[in-house]
């Protein structure tokens, strides 16, 4: 089944403890992206990647890192999480980056930072 | 800069009644427009999209939307809703000019009352 898989789905952590949210897609998509969803704010893009080794900042990149060493994987790294990073995170991918291409979303990762 | 405005944060409607979820956008260039739906505890999935051509677009689950360039709107409609339509609905825009992803509205929570 074609899908985007995120792990963990739920995580509670403490301020300053490094964590990684993994994202993997099995569709050979070139484009991958991370969004965060907050009540009343909709979805905002954190980082995106056009292809392997090509990443760029989205609208809200502060406090996050990403890497794209393989086409299928696009992990989101929080080096020193803070409470304002408590949010619902979505990874998404599409075949290429073209505005006409539809994004396939993962099921989401709910992160709580205490 | 581009933006998407969803005029209602919540829309309550009785089962089997018609519904319209409003979306207005702002962009200085031609756009691609999307409606995504998020069911409880799930990721986003595409309802429908407008790329070009006919301004009336039909999607899944009986939804349709009309692109109105003069009014810069892309309202979503369904003639008769069901309990299973309870979800968060997001309007999104892409100007096709770069890889910086979709611009999402803040979402409309559709609440179906029996």
pLDDT for the residue numbered B100: 64
Facing A97 at nearest CB: one of B49, B95, B99: B99
Q: How far apart are CA B113 and CA B21, in angstroms?
A: 16
pLDDT for the residue numbered B28: 76
CB spacing of A102 vs B99 below 8 angstroms: no
Q: Is residue B74 within 8 Å of B51, Cβ to Cβ?
A: no
Position B112 pLDDT exceeds 70: yes
Q: How far apart are CA A92 and CA A95, in angstroms?
A: 11
Q: 3-state class of A87 per DSSP?
A: strand
Instruction: Output the CA angle B79-B84-B88, nearest 5 degrees.
Output: 85
pLDDT per residue over B68-104, tens digit each? 999 999 999 999 999 999 999 999 998 765 556 788 9
End-to-end CA distance of chain B: 41
pLDDT per residue over B25-66, tens digit each? 998 777 899 999 999 888 899 999 998 888 999 999 999 999
What is the residue-averaged pLDDT of chain A? 93
Facing A42 at nearest CB: one of B49, B100, B107: B107
Q: Is residue A102 within 8 Å of A2, Cβ to Cβ?
A: no
Closest chain A residue to the Cα of B52, Cα to Cα: A100
Q: 3-state class of B103 per DSSP?
A: strand
Instruction: Outline where A1-114 has alpha helix (H).
Output: none
Position B14 pLDDT exceeds 70: yes
For chain A, which ranges sit under pLDDT 70?
Answer: 99
């Amino acid at each position: 089944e074609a899908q985007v898989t995120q792990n963990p789905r739920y995580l509670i952590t403490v301020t300053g403890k490094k964590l990684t949210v993994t994202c993997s897609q099995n569709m050979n998509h070139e484009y991958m992206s991370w969004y965060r969803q907050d009540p009343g704010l909709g979805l905002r893009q954190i980082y995106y990647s056009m292809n392997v080794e090509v990443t760029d900042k989205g609208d809200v990149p502060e406090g996050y890192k990403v890497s794209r060493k393989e086409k299928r994987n696009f992990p989101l790294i929080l080096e020193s999480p803070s409470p304002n990073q408590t949010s619902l995170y979505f990874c998404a991918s599409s075949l290429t980056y073209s505005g006409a291409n539809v994004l396939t979303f993962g099921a989401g990762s709910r992160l709580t930072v205490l | 800069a581009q933006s998407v405005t969803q005029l209602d944060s919540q829309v309550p409607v009785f089962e089997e009644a018609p519904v319209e979820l409003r979306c207005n956008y702002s962009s200085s260039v031609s756009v691609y427009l999307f409606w995504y739906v998020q069911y409880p505890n799930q990721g986003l999935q595409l309802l429908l999209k407008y790329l070009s051509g006919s301004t009336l677009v039909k999607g899944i689950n009986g939804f349709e939307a009309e692109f109105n360039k003069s009014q810069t709107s892309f309202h979503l409609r369904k003639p008769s809703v069901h309990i299973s339509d309870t979800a968060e609905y997001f309007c999104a825009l892409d100007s096709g000019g770069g890889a910086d992803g979709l611009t999402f509205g803040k979402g409309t929570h559709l609440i179906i009352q029996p």
